[in-house]
Amino acid sequence: TSGAYESEVYSFTTASEKEFKAVYMTDIHITADSEENPDSVFQTSMNLNNALEDAFARENDISVLLSAGDQASDGLESEYKGLSISPLLKSISVATTIGNHDRKGVEYKTYTNLPNEYEEAKISSYVGDNYWFVKGDVLFLVADTNNASGEDHAAFVEKAVNANPDVKWKVLMAHHDLYSGRIPHRESENGLLRMIWGPIADEFAIDLVLLGHSHYYTVSNVLYNSKTVSPVENHATVTDPAGTIYMVSGSLNRPRNEEDMGLSENIGIAYLTQEKIYNIIDFKDDSITVKSYTLESNEMFASYTVEKTSKDGGHPDKITAFYQPIVRFIGTIYAFFNNI
């Protein structure tokens, strides 16, 4: 109720204790471009709404949107208004992470309400920090990879994992593509982030990492110590993987099809397309299944399933390399000067 105005009554349904479905997108890029296209906010917001409608038509019990950064193009208030306008977002939770474009303004923090933020960070972003939440039997670790502070990231993951010792699955969501996209001018930043996040994923037995930034679809093989330990093939099932799978979805509003970008030798599945991509993830007690769709063709083009027969699955005993404290310290110093 606002003054004399009363809205309609909206409702939502909570997911079951152990099983739920999510829609995962990245680089949604709601765009306010008043000079080139005055209707850009409307058009890009409609693309988001259409993708959500398509996803809900397939699975009407989706309960959360996972968005891996760059929700907006310039961090503007009008862009975040466009992001939140779809009626479908009134009935599900929304978890976002900070993309490099979200940091172009300060409105991201205004439009998010983050649980369990890591307030002890030595280096903090002006738009938000790392946070975690548990849904079903999944611990979601949401990280700001614009911030290279390795000491803070490692401490955040350790604190969140220790606070939730009984969860079966651990999923990390961040923005920057760590392993698949070899775009030359981005490789220096991604190289440092790989050195920070790869060992964190190994040490804390992360099952799945959801990323963005490169704007094209890739799914890594199972990686441990930055090396392939088992392949991931399209429409295949991986049981008790001894490492982590890193996934990058294509951009919803800025799809890219540049054949000359090059792919890492670690990739298991790669799909370059100019079509808009969204993914439906089915979280169950003993498995995570990812199904990927293009909005224009209305078809599933890729899928894979990860199974675990126990809480630890096939993850090796955690090993922290002797040089990791040095790498994390260097990242923290870099983040300090980068923030300045």
pTM score, two decimals?
A: 0.90
pLDDT of residue 209: 97
Per-residue pLDDT of the chain (340 residues; tens, 9 = 90+): 557 788 888 776 665 667 999 999 999 998 988 677 878 898 999 999 999 999 999 998 999 999 999 999 998 999 899 888 898 888 899 999 999 899 888 898 888 888 999 888 887 778 888 999 999 999 999 999 988 888 899 999 999 999 999 999 999 999 998 886 656 666 667 777 888 899 999 999 999 999 998 888 889 999 998 889 999 999 999 999 999 999 999 888 888 766 655 566 668 888 877 788 999 999 999 999 999 999 888 889 999 999 999 988 889 886 666 667 777 777 777 666 666 6
First-to-last alpha carbon distance for the chain, in angstroms, is: 44
Given a contact cutoff of 8 angstroms between Cβ atoms, the answer to whether 83 and 101 are in contact is: no
pLDDT of residue 324: 74
